[in-house]
Structures are given as C-alpha cells and as structure tokens.
Chains A and B, each alone.
Chain A
Amino acid sequence: MEGESIYEADSGDGLGADIISTVEFNHTGELLATGDKGGRVVIFQREPESKNEPYNQGEYNVYSTFQSHEPEFDYLKSLEIEEKINKIKWLPQQNAAHSLLSTNDKTIKLWKITERDKRPEGYNLKDEEGKLKDLSTVTSLQVPVLKPMDLMVEVTPRRIFANGHTYHVNSISVNSDCETYMSADDLRINLWHLAITDRSFNIVDIKPANMEDLTEVITASEFHPHHCNLFVYSSSKGSLRLCDMRASALCDKHSKLYEEPEDPSNRSFFSEIISSVSDVKFSHSGRYMLTRDYLTVKVWDLNMETKPVETYQVHDYLRSKLCSLYENDCIFDKFECAWNGSDSVIMTGAYNNFFRMFDRNTKRDVTLEASRESSKPRAILKPRRVCVGGKRRKDDISVDSLDFTKKILHTAWHPTENIIAIAATNNLYIFQDKVNSEMH
C-alpha cells in the first residue's frame, strides 16, 4: 500500500470538533464523505485520471464542505443533543445529483449535492449583477446563453427526518430498493421512506416493559445488499439477528440468531463488554456478515447460526489489559470494519494509529500505521508489529508503549479498487495500492 494523501482538518478551535466520526465512499468510489464531531461533512472527489499528469491520477480532493447538523437543546429533558455526525450513507445515484443521508444522535437529514458549472448570461432585463436595467437602454433583444463558470457545488437539505428516536441513533442503512432506509437507536429500529419525513414505521423494538429488565441494546444494523426484505442488527451481547420484513410488521422475532457460545476459559469481568458488537457489515456478495467486537473481527455465513466461519484476532495482546482499558474507557471504543470490493480482505482499525488487514484466502494479516512519516505520497507503508514479550525485533512496538489516544475507529474501502480511507482523529489518510490489485 502506498501513502497517497493526508487531509488534516483543523479549524483551530481546539475543541476537537474536527475529529472525524464517520467515513464513507459512495457506490462508485468517486466520492468520499467524512463527518466530524462538529457536525460538518466534507466530501472528497477523485480526480479523473489524465494522461497529462499520470502521478496525480486518482487523487482525492475536497469537493464540498457543509454544516450538516448543529447542536440542539432538548428543553423537555434538559439535554444537549450533540451535532456529531454518527453515520453517513450515500444513496445510489439516480440522476446528475448525488444524495447522502447524514445523522447525529437524533435527526437524519437527506442532502442533495449538485454541480453548477454554467451560468446564463445575457439577460434582457437584468445586468451582470442582476440589477434591473433601465428599459430605455434596451434596444435589442438577445437570447441568454449558458456560459461556463467555475464549478460550484451546491448542497441543499432535501429532507429532515426528525423526532423518530428517543435514544441515540447509531446506524442508518439504505435499502436496496432505493426508496426506504432504516435508522437504529439503542432500543428501536425505524423504517423510513426517503420522501416522507413525518412518518416512520417501527420495525424492531427491544425496549423491555420494565427498564430494570434491560440487558442488551442494539449496536449496529444494516440492510442486506440485495434482498430488500432482509436486515441484520447486532447487540451488545454479541449476537446478530437477521430479520425478514415479510414475516411481520414488527420484526421482534428474528428469522435467524447468530451467536457464538462464550469461551469459558476467557471469562472475566469484562467478557460482556468485549463481546459487544460494535459494527456489522454485509459482504458485497450478501453471503457473509462481518462483525467487530473489541478484540476480534468475525466472518459469519448467513447459513450458519451457531458460530462464525472465521475469527481474526485484532489485538489479542490487550486481553490481559482489560482492566486498565476499562479504567481509561478505551474498552468502550467502537471500532468499525470493512470488506474490500471482492470480499477477500477485511480491514479494521486498532490503537496507536494502527489498522489491520486480513486476507481471507491466504490467511495472512498485516498491521499498518497511519502516520505522517509513513504517508508521504508514494511512500510504501511498512508493516508494523506489536511485540508482547519474547524476542523483540527492531521497529517493534511493545504493548506498553502503544498510544491509546490514537485510535482508528473509522475506515472505509473503495467499492471496487484497492483504495482505503482511514480516519485517525482529525486526519484522513487515503492509501492506494497502485501496483497490485491484490494483497501482497
């Protein structure tokens, strides 16, 4: 993998508003959207490859920036609603405009992104600045013509889906029917129509009648990429539930429950926390699901509910440090995971700005670091290693010197090519594998 580009967001307010909170490629990979803690969305566009500047081909540059969400105050509950963007999901492109959904804890918004690169000139009644002309000066009529102008990207909010959620929204997912989408909070999942903002259907509700009986919450959810009736949601207990919307209006009863029995030898005070699933992603094929819990990523076959088909250790050396990680809250970090376009490689982030990739075919894995030193343009990323005692090679990092404040929670993989976007605090790294199209 080569270092490609780094984008650092720093508005200088020092409040951490630039911390990137979500990263998402659109369906073609031409656009890459990031959301941050300050409620802003930045969209990058890939430069078309040109023969004139072969080395600049495929670079991502800022395309548009807009403020998606603002902080709000819920007066009834005396609670502030954070403007942090939790998730962004692109809609499949249906015309010249691009659309995306962005959500904070409570409100989902549909944004339309359009380009304007021409402007009409030669009005009869208005002058260049738009002021009305003195009619006596108009001696002949002309037809206004469209003249090229500097590209302007306009972003407008088309829909605002508010008041659908009592608890904090953790995920949104657009249905393959391109008409509906779902939003999930800790206890409920709602189904919306993209054109209707004043109504949504509740399709999952796991709130117990007595909140004292609460034992698990919904942590992530996603629609199946091809079957518009299927979706999955993960829970804090480490289970996945596949639901079929044809079965009933309220999908409280799952069609399939994916759960792996706990390994009793690994039992600790923190077993429950580390089994909580922080992210779930269907493979592009729709055959598998990828889940991330605190220490592992697992691949599940939709046809097998009893256990995952593959389990990969992300940073097992942390298993003996769970108590410290609990103390400093790191154990609650929610890492995301991603498939590559061909579903042969999976990727997830870790600490110390490390991220990991696992090749499902060769069973090889690699640890890479997103740092400025390693990310000069066209610099090759060097694999890193964490040593846990025993022989220590040069350049190894010991577990105790890992920086737990540098965490890579959000990663995204281009839908078809070997381009990855890594969010490291307020920096966005984009890496591209130009040489091979496979893992090496």
Chain B
Amino acid sequence: MEFKLEAHRIVSISLGKIYSARGQRGGLKLHKNLLVSLVLRSARQVYLSEPGCPPEPPPAASGRGGPRLPGADCEGPRPRRCCCGCSCCCAAAGGEANRADCAAAAEAAAPPPPHCPRKRSAGERGQAGSPVKKPRREVEEEPPPGEQEDMETGNVASLISIFGSSFSGLLSKEPKGRRRAPLDGGEATVATTPTDAAAEPGQICCDEPVLRTLNPWSTAIVAF
C-alpha cells in the first residue's frame, strides 16, 4: 500500500518534471528526460501491479467521487481482459464505470497488448453506478495509469514516444480546453520514426484527436 502511494506520488512528480521541461532554456535534456521516464515506468509498474486495495485518493483527486467498494478490487491476479471494446472488459466490479472505460478504449481500434489487462486494474476502481471515469479524466494531477492503458492500446500505434512504449501508456485524456494545435499541421502518422525523416531532432506529427491526448507529452517529445 505504501509502495502504491509512493509510486503514485512519483508518477505525479515525474509528469510534472516532463511538463516543465518544455520551457527549459537550451532545449530538452535528453538524458534527464530519459531518466525521468524510466522512473515513471518503474513507479507505474509498481502502482499497477501491486495487489491489494488501492489507496484512498488524496484530497486532490476531486474527480473520484463516491465511495469505493473496498473489496472490489482487492483481488489477486486479475483475469485477463480484452481492452478493445468487448463487453467482457466490463465484467469486473464496477461495471458501469468500466463500460465507460471500454468505450474510451474502443475509440482506438488497435489490438490489445498482452499486458493491458493487468494495467487496467488501477482503472477499475469498482465504483458501481457513478460515472467515475469521466471526472477522473479531468484530474490531471494524478492521471490514473490504468485508465490510460486503455488509451495506450489505441494510441500507441499512432503516437510518437521517445521514451518507450510505456510512456505513451500514460497519456491521459486531457480536458479539451488544453488541446494544443498540432505542431506541423497535424499529419496523421504512425509511431515509426518519421521524426528522423523530418528534422532531427524531429517534430511530432500526430493525429488531431491523438494530439489532444498528447498534450502534456508533446513537450517531452518536441525537442527531438
């Protein structure tokens, strides 16, 4: 439990660092941001893989209204789930909430990566009846990693992420107000290395809808 709290805190701090890295004089520091992304990945893995009850959300998590069902996800290893819109996703506790989740995941038509189900565990906070997912998405201080893994399945194919595929898994659905214009006019492309073909350090070319979700990350990627 403590580890989860600490992991969560580290995830928040790391995201903040990447966010603020954009304004740095001299451009993005590749080394530092690589290290931050490694920490992010470790922390997120711990956060998602640790069994047991999730921590009570810190006060900042205004979006997570409603009582949690304490037993809802205090399960052992989760059964494998498919993340791409199948109703079986929603079979876990907190059906309605997960349905919203799956709807989000269904936006992206990509096959689920094998690790996706485990990571959904954090997203299934077992809130029966309350539209938990939507408000949670608005809370950018603590992007729920599990939920973002849903996005990962769809977005990973169309995102450019320097720091590893798990990085892209942390992209959250930012509130629409924070959308940024695509850097170069928003050409859709895939996560190969058009960046190399473009300018080196390259600029990201992303789908408009994907960019919306990319918001805090585009800064991390922009310099390269």
Asked whether A77 lies within 8 Å of B27 as measured between CB atoms, the reply is yes
Beta-carbon contacts under 8 Å, B139-175 to A: 160-165, 167
Min CB distance B63 to A, Å, is: 24
Interface string of B16-38 (1 = CB under 8 A from A): 01000000011101111011001
The residue in chain A whose Cβ has the minimal distance to the Cβ of B167 is A212
Residues of B within 8 A of A81 (CB): 26-27
Interface string of B25-69 (1 = CB under 8 A from A): 111011110110011001100100000000000000000000000
Asked whether B162 lies within 8 Å of A212 as measured between CB atoms, the reply is yes
Q: Is the interface of B mostly helix, strand, loop or mixed?
A: helix
A214 to B161, CA, bound (A): 10
Asked whether B26 lies within 8 Å of A211 as measured between CB atoms, the reply is no
Asked whether B43 lies within 8 Å of A211 as measured between CB atoms, the reply is no
The residue in chain A whose Cβ has the minimal distance to the Cβ of B156 is A212
Min CB distance A133 to B, Å, is: 53
Asked whether A276 lies within 8 Å of B35 as measured between CB atoms, the reply is yes
Task: Say yes or no for A55: interface residue by CB 8 A criterion.
Answer: no
The residue in chain A whose Cβ has the minimal distance to the Cβ of B6 is A323
Task: Say yes or no for B223: interface residue by CB 8 A criterion.
Answer: yes
Q: Is the interface of A mostly helix, strand, loop or mixed?
A: loop
A186 to B35, CA, bound (A): 13
Min CB distance A167 to B, Å, is: 6
A216 to B10, CA, bound (A): 21
Asked whether A269 lies within 8 Å of B46 as measured between CB atoms, the reply is yes
Residues of A within 8 A of B38 (CB): 272-273
Asked whether A166 lies within 8 Å of B200 as measured between CB atoms, the reply is yes
Asked whether A77 lies within 8 Å of B201 as measured between CB atoms, the reply is yes
Task: Say yes or no for A326: interface residue by CB 8 A criterion.
Answer: yes
Min CB distance A252 to B, Å, is: 17
Asked whether B26 lies within 8 Å of A82 as measured between CB atoms, the reply is yes
Task: Say yes or no for A201: interface residue by CB 8 A criterion.
Answer: no
Asked whether A326 lies within 8 Å of B39 as measured between CB atoms, the reply is yes
Residues of A within 8 A of B192 (CB): 210
The residue in chain B whose Cβ has the minimal distance to the Cβ of A170 is B31
Residues of B within 8 A of A167 (CB): 30, 201
| Cβ contacts A to B, 30 pairs, < 8 Å | A74-B27, A76-B199, A79-B26, A79-B27, A82-B25, A82-B26, A105-B26, A105-B27, A167-B30, A167-B201, A168-B29, A168-B30, A210-B192, A211-B162, A211-B196, A211-B224, A217-B30, A217-B34, A236-B31, A236-B34, A269-B6, A269-B7, A269-B46, A272-B35, A272-B38, A272-B42, A323-B10, A326-B13, A326-B39, A327-B13
Known pairs A76-B199, A80-B26 / 19 extra A-B pairs, C-beta < 8 Å: A79-B26, A79-B27, A81-B26, A105-B26, A105-B27, A166-B201, A167-B30, A168-B29, A186-B30, A209-B193, A212-B164, A215-B34, A216-B34, A236-B31, A236-B34, A269-B10, A269-B43, A272-B38, A273-B38
